[in-house]
Structure 1
Amino acid sequence: MIRTVGLLHVVGRRLLVVRPRGKGAFYLPGGKLEPGEAEPDALRREVREELGVELAPDSVRPARRYLGPAYGEGDGVLVDLSCYTAEVVGEPHPSAEVAELALVTEDEYLAHPETAPVIVELLRDLRGAGQVA
């Protein structure tokens, strides 16, 4: 089981996703928790590392949680993704560990050659709620 956190950042009915260097699929900005680290702290750290921005104090709110197959980790490995919303301070830009950023609709994400199952499920839910196109 891989425990992760991710930022749900929607702009113009499109979800912000990142593609790490060396990976084919896009994910939510975020990542794995360090031992003893609280989820909101891990989210702030990972967003700072990946996007070069801060999250506004007291704006981090739990939103959704997903459990599913971990992309690229082999058969039977699951990812436990806790999603949060937060106010982003600054303009996100890719760091050294991120190959590219994208704002995607569900259909645009599904058109990529590689997708992460939990992100597909998340986008389906966001589209059903009218939050993304």
Structure 2
Amino acid sequence: MPETIEVVALVRWEAGRLLLVRADYQTAFYLPGGKIDPGETHEQALHREVREELGTGVRDVRFLDRYVADAVGQGEGVRVGLNCYTGELVGTPAPAAEIAELAWMSRAEYLDQRATAPAIVALYADLG
């Protein structure tokens, strides 16, 4: 059975654009978020990851959906379980920690990137 890496992610969708980040070690943009530490709830992990990656807080957190797809850059057969949450940012997001870039992208802009994450493509399809 293939390995599935469980992660949490923040979905900020404004004016037809999704808030995305790219880590300095990745080629694909993805949602702000990351792995859940042992003993953390999904919401605790989301708050920690948003603080680490964007330098902001998040409030009014609500579960949106879960996507399971091939994980980008994690090796053959590794999947990601992307647990998506919505919420309002508290502060202005800026790249922090390992984040090299932050961008607001439409679906078309994302699909024009040289590397994309299958779970993000599926999310865009659901967002419209």
**TM-score normalised by L of structure 1:** 0.92
Q: What does the per-residue CA deviation read over 1:21-72, in whole Å, with 9 as the maximum and x for residues that have no partner?
A: 111000100000001210000000000000000012xx11000110010011
Q: Distance in 1 between matches of 2:27 and 2:125?
A: 20
**Structure 2, gaps ≥5 residues long:** none
Residue 97 of structure 2 is matched in structure 1 by: 96
Structure-2 separation of matches of 1:110 and 1:77: 22
2:12 is matched with which residue? 9
Q: Does 1:18 align with 2:9?
A: no
Name the residue aligned to 2:126.
125
In structure 2, give the amino acid aligned to 1:22: Y
Query: Match of 1:21, as an amino acid?
Result: D
**2:42 — aligned with what?**
39
Please identify which structure carries the higher strand content: 2
Equivalence for 1:28: 31
- Aligned-residue identity in percent: 52
Unaligned runs of 5+ in 1: 128-133
Alignment of 1:48-87 (within 5 A): 48-56=51-59, 59-87=60-88
SS at the partner of 2:31? Answer: coil
Tell me the residue number matched to 1:131.
none
Q: Give the 4+ runs in structure 1 shifted more than 4 A.
A: none
